[in-house]
Structure 1
């Protein structure tokens, strides 16, 4: 099993027993970073923060954006820029 698959499974296992504080809050998947300070405080109290961080760090970079675990912020433009840089 790859590291991204392992991280995904750990996140799914955590979600089966806990509800993250970000559920239903669209600010976490917004491309704007204007609420990041507030969202990081929410993440710091979340029972599955570590699993979320691990998933974000190991997940494929294709189309995954938002704030994960209060640590990893990716936006759609950042993903596109990274792809463009790789192609050059």
Structure 2
């Protein structure tokens, strides 16, 4: 299955965490899943307490916007994440 390069940038409109390398992903469903994982990873390892204004902006290799995923749409169990187990999201 052919893969396409996507970049997963995170921003609140002021600050930016840029994805300079990108990731090759074969389907849009997997792009959406990876966007959720990017958001989850930043929320778990970032220094902010309020992520409500943040979102992942996904761009293809040509710089076209593919999708946007709000951090508030990524649900996870903070207790599991703090306990060292696998965080779960829906």
TM-score w.r.t. the length of structure 1 is: 0.26
In terms of fraction of residues, the more strand-rich structure is 2
Kindly indicate which of the two structures has a greater share of residues assigned to helix: 1
TM-score of the aligned structures, taking structure 2 as reference length: 0.26
